[in-house]
């Protein structure tokens, strides 16, 4: 019986050690990201931020910007690496509907407020790191 008790203790110790690590790591190596976006000296009221991998086949991440803040939880986050950043925020008021298929009513799209150098032509990059808090703040003039 002493060997059975020892075996049970070893199994319990192993189980407790395995469970204590739950929730701390992601099997895909993803990390959470957060930060702020200011536009012309004010928090960006609303928009979207994309983090694109250098490999088009890789996974990126997207977050909504609300009141100048964004957050991507670990479950939707990124593994360590360098990512290209795109920030967009179309104007809300427009009367020009976009072109669409004949007979299909398309919702109006707003004109992009953010300069192209932060979205379409962006060369902005960030490095997501395992040993960092991965907070990235952006100031757009």
Assign residue 76 the CATH number of its domain: 2.60.40.1120
- Tokens 């803040």 belong to 69
Question: Does residue 4 belong to any structural domain of this protein?
Answer: no
* 98: β partners: none
Question: Does residue 56 belong to any structural domain of this protein?
Answer: yes
Question: Does residue 2 belong to any structural domain of this protein?
Answer: no
Cα–Cα distance, 25 to 31 (Å, whole number): 9
pLDDT tens by residue, 6-60: 554 544 444 444 444 444 566 889 999 999 999 999 999 999 999 999 988 888 9
Question: Does residue 22 belong to any structural domain of this protein?
Answer: no
Measured torsion, CA atoms of residues 77, 22, 25, 55, in degrees rounded to the nearest 10? -50
pLDDT of 86 strictly over 60? yes
Q: Which domain holds residue 122?
A: 27-140
Number of independent structural domains in the chain = 1
Cα–Cα distance, 129 to 136 (Å, whole number): 12
Question: Does residue 66 belong to any structural domain of this protein?
Answer: yes
Q: Record the pTM.
A: 0.72
Question: Does residue 1 belong to any structural domain of this protein?
Answer: no
Question: Does residue 60 belong to any structural domain of this protein?
Answer: yes
Question: Does residue 8 belong to any structural domain of this protein?
Answer: no
């Amino acid at each position: 019986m002493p060997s059975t008790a020892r075996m049970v203790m070893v199994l319990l110790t192993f189980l407790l050690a395995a469970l204590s690590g739950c929730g701390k790591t992601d099997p895909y190596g993803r990390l959470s990201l957060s930060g702020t976006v200011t536009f012309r000296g004010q928090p960006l009221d609303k928009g979207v931020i994309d983090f694109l991998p250098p490999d088009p086949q890789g996974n990126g991440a997207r977050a909504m910007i609300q009141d100048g803040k964004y957050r991507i939880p670990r479950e939707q986050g990124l593994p360590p690496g360098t990512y290209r950043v795109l920030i967009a925020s179309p104007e809300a008021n427009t009367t020009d509907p976009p072109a669409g298929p004949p007979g299909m009513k398309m919702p109006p799209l707003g004109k992009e407020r953010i300069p192209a150098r932060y979205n379409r032509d962006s060369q902005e990059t960030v490095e997501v790191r395992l040993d960092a808090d991965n907070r990235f703040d952006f100031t757009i003039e």
